[in-house]
Amino acid sequence: MTIRRFTIDDYDAVFELWMACPEMELNDTDDSREGVARFLARNPDTAWVAQEDGRVVGVLMVGTDGRRGYVYHAGVDPACRGKGIGSALADTALDTLREMGLSKAGLLAFADNRPGIEFWERHGFVRREDLSYLSCVLGRIQRIEH
Ligand SMILES: CC(C)(COP(=O)(O)OP(=O)(O)OC[C@H]1O[C@@H](n2cnc3c(N)ncnc32)[C@H](O)[C@@H]1OP(=O)(O)O)[C@@H](O)C(=O)NCCC(=O)NCCS
């Protein structure tokens, strides 16, 4: 298994992988080819894929703004889980953010995604019971059912 930068050429394989992860919320704007290309243009050094036998089996993206790193859409092919691929991606991401001098990373997980939350807790993330997440829809956006 190797970990390398996620480029837009990986989009089709990555999107297929995301679609195979029911725990992940996808939408037709951010997760479109254009949306992902925009994200990668802004965050070219903090998005990775894991590859095995030439096939993309894992993905993780981090958006940074000079203050925090926000982890998005970590996913491993359901047939390849439990082998350390997710951990290798998480370690790569957290090491890179430390090298960049950032002091904190964050992520959002659905409250019912216990395995996902426990995965991140094993990687040092702590659930903040004192915070509420608020979001505001700024433009047209539609959830992709999968
Ligand atoms: C969370 C996720 C990325 C972890 O990827 P992974 O490659 O399975 O992760 P790892 O193999 O590094 O670690 C999984 C842990 O579960 C254990 N495990 C054992 N069997 C497993 C299985 N069949 N599936 C998943 N994990 C298993 C592993 O031993 C490991 O435990 P450890 O950390 O104590 O060693 C992956 O499960 C996934 O894609 N989930 C769906 C999407 C998701 O929830 N993303 C996170 C949103 S917050």
Q: Which residues contact 119 (CB under 8 A, 6 or more apart)?
A: 86, 90
Q: Which residues contact 77 (CB under 8 A, 6 or more apart)?
A: 17, 20, 57, 58
Other C-beta atoms lying within 10 Å of the C-beta of residue 11: 18
78-133 pLDDT tens trace: 999 999 999 999 999 999 999 999 999 999 999 999 999 999 999 999 999 999 99
What confidence score (pLDDT) does residue 94 get? 98
Closest ligand 1 atom number to CA of residue 108: 48
Q: What is the mean pLDDT of residues 32-36?
A: 98
CATH of residue 22's domain is 3.40.630.30
Domain assignment of residue 25, given as a range: 2-144
**Count of domains in the chain?**
1
Lining ligand 1 with CB less than 6 A are 21, 23-24, 74-76, 81-87, 107, 109, 113, 115-116, 119-120, 122
Confidence of residue 6 (pLDDT cuts 50, 70, 90): very high
